[in-house]
Amino acid sequence: MRLRVVLADDSLLFREGLARLLMESGVEVLAQTGNPGQLLSAVRTHEPDMAVVDIRMPPTHTTEGLDAAAEIKRVQPGIGVLVLSQYLETYAAIRVLTSGPGGLGYLLKERVSDLRQFAQAVHRVAAGELVLDQLVVERMVARRRADEPLAALTSREREVLSLMAEGRSNRAICDQLWLGAKTVETHVRSIFSKLELASTADDHRRVLAVLHYLRS
């Protein structure tokens, strides 16, 4: 079955391009809207698998996308929301990923230029995963800390940590790093013990625990 999506962005040109791109990668675009109100009614009407939402929309052009994501999650928690933004801010990333259960994502807008990766992110959010732009994670991991706790990690462990923060599952990490399932599991366990984090089987909670750790 084809993935069913609604789009919200107040730039018509970008929206049209995005719709074309998604359709070419086999996604059905049910509706295109330019403001949060229309987005919410389109979500109610079409009950899509997910929504791709620009963060700045009328009326104030600030963070309407964040509020819309939270509202969609409040009304229909099963619908995934992918928020696009021209800037990446840690606070906004945390707000998106904590706005409800199920699939959520926060990506730099220009990620649409890599069709394959972008379509992959859309599918992951629709499948209920958390997706975080790697630029945010890079910044969080690179951030200097007074006691440098990340120094205890090997470079491979740091790679695994970053991928976990981006919302990847163990399987995805295996594929990405060309590693065996057992090896990845060992890395994950080692990271959690070195950072004194309580390990958890739930992917969502694992992402948030890692983000919380990186942010503090």
Partner 1 sequence: MDRRAATSRAVLRRRSVGVVTALTTPGRVPSWWLPVLIAAAGLLVAGGAASAWATCPCAKLPPDGEAARLVTGLSFVGVGLIAMKQRRRRRVGLLMAAVGLTWFVYDLGWVYEPLTYTIGTVGAGLYQPILAHLTVVFPSGRTTSRVDRTVVAGAYALYAIASLGTQTLWDPRDTGCPCPANLLLLHHDSRLYAIADATSSVLLIVVTAAVLGVLVWHWRRSGLPGRRALTPVLASSLPIAALVVATTIVGENFLPPLAALALTALPLGFLAGLVRLQLERAALGSLVMELEGDAPIGRIRDALARTLHDRTLEVAYWMPSEQGYIDAEGRPFPLPAAQPHRSVTLLNHLGQPVAALIHDAAVYDNPDLVDAAAAAARLAIDNERLQAEIRAQLEQVRRSRARIVATADAERRRIERDLHDGAQQRLVTLSLLLGLARDQAASTPHGTLVHALDEAADELRSALAELRELARGIHPAVLSEAGLKPAIEALAERLPVAVVVSSPGTRFDAAVEAAAYFVAAEALTNAVKHAQASMVRVTVTHSAGCLTVEVVDDGAGGADPSLGSGLVGLADRVGALAGRLEMVSERGHGTHLTATIPCPPSLSPTARRVGGVSAEGATGP
Q: Which residues bind partner 1 (CB under 8 A)?
A: 11, 13-14, 17-18, 20-21, 24, 56, 60-63, 66-67, 86-87, 89-92, 94-95, 97-98, 109-110, 112-115, 139-140, 143-146, 208, 212, 215-216
Nearer to partner 1, 145 or 189 (CB): 145
CB neighbour burial string for 60-77, b if at least 16 within 10 angstroms, e if fewer: eeebbbbebbbbbbeeee
Query: Judged by CB, which is closer to partner 1: 60, or 155?
Result: 60
Pairing of strands 130-132, 80-85: unpaired
Residue whose C-alpha is closest to residue 64's, from 30, 46, 98, 38: 38
198, 209 in Cβ contact below 8 A?
Answer: yes
Q: Which helix (H) or strand (E) holds 95?
A: helix 90-97
Shortest distance, CB of residue 143 to partner 1, whole angstroms? Answer: 5
Please give the Cα distance from 132 to 148 (Å, whole number): 23
Please state the closest distance from residue 16 (CB atom) to partner 1, in A: 9
Shortest CB 63 distance to partner 1, Å: 5
Nearest approach in angstroms of CB 67 to partner 1 is: 8
**C-alpha atoms less than 13 angstroms from C-alpha of 114 in its C-beta half-sphere:** 7
Nearer to partner 1, 141 or 174 (CB): 141
Least CB distance from residue 169 to partner 1, whole Å? 21
Q: 24 vs 47, which CB is nearer to partner 1?
A: 24
For partner 1, the closer of residues 52 and 173 by Cβ is: 52
Q: Which residues pair with 82 in a beta bridge?
A: 52, 105
3-state secondary structure of 173: helix
In the three-class reduction of DSSP (H, G, I as helix; E, B as strand; rest coil), residue 57 is classed as coil
